[in-house]
Chains A and B, each alone.
Chain A
């Protein structure tokens, strides 16, 4: 497995989740554990570009795959565009949900780019756009207890046009 561009050894014990591998074994504590049941999205990471929940993923299942976490988003020590937009638009308060929100938003942008419909897309065979309603639905897997959602949506809308 490759994590943020670096090769990583898989755990011996198949019970280790991808989330625990990242946090406990690799010290990458940016990815957060909220519910550990799939309900909050705090543990969202990108695997080969697709957003998934690392808390419900057994690490052994992801051998040979490329994992990207919040720690891997900076480019030359500078925040990536989605990270920048979260700062500019007050897309967080306590920050606990933020790494998951940002990874999720990057995954969402590629889904929209390839024309994937959502629950609120009226015409399943038409094109999709990154409207606020679309972003809200597509980001519903990421909860924010602080209620920073308006800033989160604004940040994502601002960043989406520019790509991840």
Chain B
């Protein structure tokens, strides 16, 4: 591991002052970054520890919930307001990693965790455009069973691995950011970039920009939301496909819906085509299937991940069936 300077930020001003230094990176729980530094995928000259910044979870004036970026994943999933009002978020976090990792991982670090593409990690042996721009992508013709089918490009087909982000994408979450030049907020769905021809630029963040928190808006239908994750083993594995969903039904008709997919997209994938297809339709499998297929129509499967297309369609149907069971 390359030598680095370590500094602990006591407040946001402190953090962004250090953070705008050349080759500095913010450090949350370290569960992703320490690993990447050992593999020399990341080689920061300085780490700015942001785990002592705001970690509070509190209601907003507009009836939403604001979560500090330093909040540990386990405490977010455990929070009564999250469990009652945004169960998809609690379920998504609990479906990810292990209890020990969730105790360490912060919300900010979870948002900005890097892909788990094995070629991205294999500095010595593999070509990867995301890690080393212009090198090529060994996944496209390689072992791509775990890779994305939506939002891909001829440069990169890596998935965004976060479960939490999929729920946040479905629930209209907003990300709060701070920089030496000031603060701004973005919808979570605008934070991550699809790879295009620059997979190395993963987010819209400017160098040194800090995530200070995530805000969930007031969203009554989210009280009936859930998250389902399909994986190779029942626990402690990344998603092959996952679905976060919330539905509001009246007299058997879908009034409103939120849907996002994990494991299939290069970013946490908000399924807007599916949502549009579903609004105003009678609940039931035919409408659910049409909606899911509308979203997956753009899928570009590779040699080993074609199964994800139908798996995603079926998982969407399964989750919507579960959420609308009493309405049918």
- B1, B27, B30, B74 — most chain A CB neighbours (10 Å): B30
* Contact (A61, B100) CB under 8 Å given A14-B6, A36-B38: no
Chain A: interface residue total (CB-CB under 8 A): 37
**Chain B residue at minimal CB-CB distance from A43:** B100
Residue pairs across A and B with Cβ atoms less than 8 A apart, 29 shown, are A14-B4, A14-B5, A15-B4, A17-B34, A50-B103, A53-B101, A56-B30, A56-B35, A57-B30, A61-B51, A111-B74, A117-B77, A117-B78, A117-B83, A117-B94, A118-B94, A118-B99, A119-B91, A119-B235, A124-B83, A124-B84, A124-B91, A125-B83, A125-B84, A137-B234, A140-B236, A141-B99, A141-B101, A141-B236
Once the chains bind, are A52 and B100 in contact (CB under 8 Å)? yes
In the complex, the 5 A-B pairs of residues with the closest C-beta atoms, listed nearest first: A141-B98, A140-B235, A14-B6, A124-B83, A140-B236
**Smallest Cβ distance from A101 to chain B, in angstroms?**
12
B49 at the interface (CB under 8 A from A): yes
Having A36-B38, A51-B100, A56-B30, one finds 18 other A-B pairs with CB under 8 Å, namely: A15-B3, A52-B103, A53-B31, A57-B34, A58-B34, A61-B8, A61-B49, A61-B51, A104-B100, A111-B99, A116-B77, A117-B77, A117-B94, A118-B94, A118-B99, A125-B83, A136-B235, A141-B236
How distant is the Cα of A67 from the Cα of B98 in the complex, in angstroms? 20
When distances are taken between beta carbons in the complex, the residues of chain B under 8 Å from A38 are: 31, 35, 97, 101
**Smallest Cβ distance from B317 to chain A, in angstroms?**
21
User: Could you give, for residues 222-247 of chain B, a 1 whenever the CB lies within 8 Å of some chain A CB and a 0 otherwise?
Assistant: 00000000000011100000000000
User: Could you give, for residues 26-47 of chain B, a 1 whenever the CB lies within 8 Å of some chain A CB and a 0 otherwise?
Assistant: 0101110011001000000001
Selected contact of B235 from candidates A17, A52, A60, A137, CB within 8 Å: A137
Once the chains bind, are A116 and B236 in contact (CB under 8 Å)? no
When distances are taken between beta carbons in the complex, the residues of chain B under 8 Å from A56 are: 29-31, 34-35, 101, 104
Chain B: interface residue total (CB-CB under 8 A): 37
Once the chains bind, are A14 and B91 in contact (CB under 8 Å)? no
**Smallest Cβ distance from B183 to chain A, in angstroms?**
26
User: Could you give, for residues 1-31 of chain B, a 1 whenever the CB lies within 8 Å of some chain A CB and a 0 otherwise?
Assistant: 1011110100000000000000000010111
Tally A-B pairs: CB < 8 A. 100
